[in-house]
Amino acid sequence: MIRILTLLLCLIAPPAAAQAQAGFDPFGEAGIDDRQGARVPLAVPLTDAQGRRTTLRALGGGKPILLVPVLHNCPNICGVTLAGVADAIKDQPLRPGKDFALVAFSIDPKEAPKDAAADLARLREREGMQTLPASAVTGSADAIHAVTRAIGYRYAWDQRIGQYAHVAAVAVLTPEGRLAGWLYGIAPKADDLSRALTDARNDRAASWGEKLLLLCFHYDPVTGRYTASIVKALRIAGVITALSVGLLLWRLRRRGAA
């Protein structure tokens, strides 16, 4: 009962945008819109780390796709995100290449195949990752926007740091190219990853409860994680307390009337 109330009350919490300061805030612009079930254009032309033309359909090969939006030259959370995904892959039974495809997808049209190759090389320097089946791709602005618009992934150029402000998350696509859901943060749990891939393979989306629960969290660009908002938590706790007291008084009145 309390969980259901919590999920519902998350909807009435004021949006983060209303609390943003005036002026352009790249990290405020970055985020993920709800596009679950949306069709992703698998045929847009991309270029792999070897400079060959390819598509998400070709890379997926009829399997679910873990699509990781990144900057291949990112000095911050991108490499950590890919490493976190790789660590989660090691701790669950589904295997990349056999059961799903892992694709590091550049959101910067200025990046080239050599940047994608360097990103893969850094990932494979990690212990146990030397033979990890993964792809790293680049694309034109039109190709990148076609994919990111479809999955609801928003990012913005930050002049202060000279790169795109973006969130750490992994899109999970079905073999047919629909968005099944997201894994949030720089270190997804192995169980969550396995469940998401299994759902994508069976063409199932995340439950409404899981989606609503994400509204109670906000993205921290410093840590690359989604963390519970203390303001929202206190507001929700206060409303739940008021409802609980009201329910108790209503029951006492009913008893008295009987």
Q: How do beta strands 156-158 and 53-54 pair? A: unpaired
Measure CA 38 to chain center. 15
Q: What is the pLDDT of residue 29?
A: 80
The structure tokens listed for 152 are 């609801």
CA–CA separation, 222 vs 75, rounded Å? 13
Where are the alpha helices (H) located in the chain, listed in sequence order? Answer: 2-10, 16-19, 26-29, 56-60, 77-90, 113-124, 141-151, 190-201, 208-214, 230-257
| Per-residue pLDDT at 136 exceeds 60 | yes
Q: How do beta strands 101-106 and 65-70 pair? A: parallel
CA–CA separation, 80 vs 74, rounded Å? 10
Provide the sign of the torsion angle of the four alpha carbons 230, 234, 235, 237, taken in this order: positive
CA–CA separation, 114 vs 98, rounded Å? 26
Q: How do beta strands 135-138 and 101-106 pair? A: parallel
Whole-prediction pTM value? 0.71
Q: What is the dihedral of CA 74, 77, 82, 85, to 10 degrees?
A: -170
Percent of the chain residues past pLDDT 70, beyond the cut: 73
Rounded to the nearest integer, the mean pLDDT of the chain is 79
Q: What are phi and psi of 143, to 5 degrees?
A: -65, -45
The lowest-confidence range among 28-42, 68-82, 206-220, 240-254 is 206-220
Q: Given pLDDT bands bounded at 50, 70 and 90, which one contains residue 191?
A: very high
Q: What is the per-residue pLDDT across 205-239, written as a single tens digit (0 to 9) for each?
A: 544 444 444 444 444 444 444 454 444 544 555 66
Question: 89 burial class (0-12, 13-18, 19+ CB within 10 angstroms)?
Answer: buried
The lowest-confidence range among 93-97, 114-118, 129-133, 241-245 is 241-245
Q: How do beta strands 101-106 and 179-184 pair? A: unpaired
